[in-house]
Amino acid sequence: MFYPLKFDHKYVAKIWGGRKLKNYRDDLPDGDIGESWDISAYDDKISVVKNGKLAGKNLKELCELFPVQILGEKLKNSDFPLLIKIIDAQSKLSIQVHPDEDSAEDNENVSAKNEAWYIIDAEPESYVIAGTKDCSKNEFKKAVENNEIDNYINKIRVKKGDVFFVKAGLLHAIGPGVFLAEVQQSSDTTYRVYDYGRDRELHLDKALEAIDFGVQAERRKGLKVENDSYNITYYCLNKKFALDMIEINSSYRSSGEKNRFYIYTAVKGSGTINWNDKSLEIKEADSILIPAYAGEYSITGELILLRSYVPDIKKTETDILSIIE
């Protein structure tokens, strides 16, 4: 009964958004679309299944009806923990921060949020902001109030294929001309620090409490393991989520892992997911959920997939070590 699931898209108009998703989708609504929430059980943007016998059911319903089969035996008592977005930034996003576990615990209805970015496409000179330069909390606050924030932010030029881990507490923003896939905890808690004069609410005091002025971010180098028909690069591993990249040259075979679900997000090329006598197309900017009890499947084609999941850290570390030894 359980099989690879494809969902509808929940589009969000943003003042900084654009129309780039039109190059990948035929269901884009009018307006400047900044975000597509592609796998979500959060708030009012809950994904609805498009394919197979479970079509029409939403992800929150599935986790309530079949917690073990969808989430896995290790995650069955939790809400769906991850959120997958595609982001089209055609102008500057606000400079912001997400709280970590300690900050979130001090505030009711606030959830911590770690995330990771994969740059699917980027215009020349595009950049992201990731971290602060050497400054104190008071120096940074004064710079924000005096519109001198550029003196204290860390800008990094980006290109296709770059990966960043945006740890909770890291000051960050996406610059114009960046098109990316975002894997994150299922949370929408954001403290806006600076918004380039746009008429939106700022949360400077809360942000100053949440910012970790000692944390920086750089491109992730990853650990690449080569196989005959596919390669895997391990990019992020923490207790909230793991992010790997699978480059498929011809085929990749796997099966549902009964302890946890997996999400595949295509960031280049196209292919087909095959199980039993059925198949499902996956193309660039698509995301597919593999339930824990999905059984065996194969992916064929020439494509690059992100694989996101909630890991058993010790098991994953052991698996990686067994390969490189």
Q: Which stretches of 174-268 are DSSP H helices?
A: 204-210
- Reported as type and span, the H/E element at residue 18 is strand 10-18
Q: How far is CA 277 from the centre of its chain?
A: 31
Q: How far is CA 119 from CA 187, 267, 306, in A?
A: 21, 9, 11
Q: Which of 50, 41, 123 lies closest to 282 in space, CA to CA?
A: 50
For 211-230, the DSSP string reads --TT-B------EEEE-SSE
Contact 269, 284 (CB under 8 A): yes
Report the distance separating Cα 307 and Cα 291, nearest Å: 13
Q: Which residues are catalytic?
A: 192
Torsion sign over Cα 236, 81, 36, 167: negative
> Looking at the DSSP assignment, which residues form a beta bridge with residue 45?
42
Report the distance separating Cα 234 and Cα 143, nearest Å: 38
Contact 181, 115 (CB under 8 A): no
For 58-115, the DSSP string reads BHHHHHHH-HHHHH-TTTTTS---EEEEEEEESSPPPEEE---HHHHHTSTT-----E
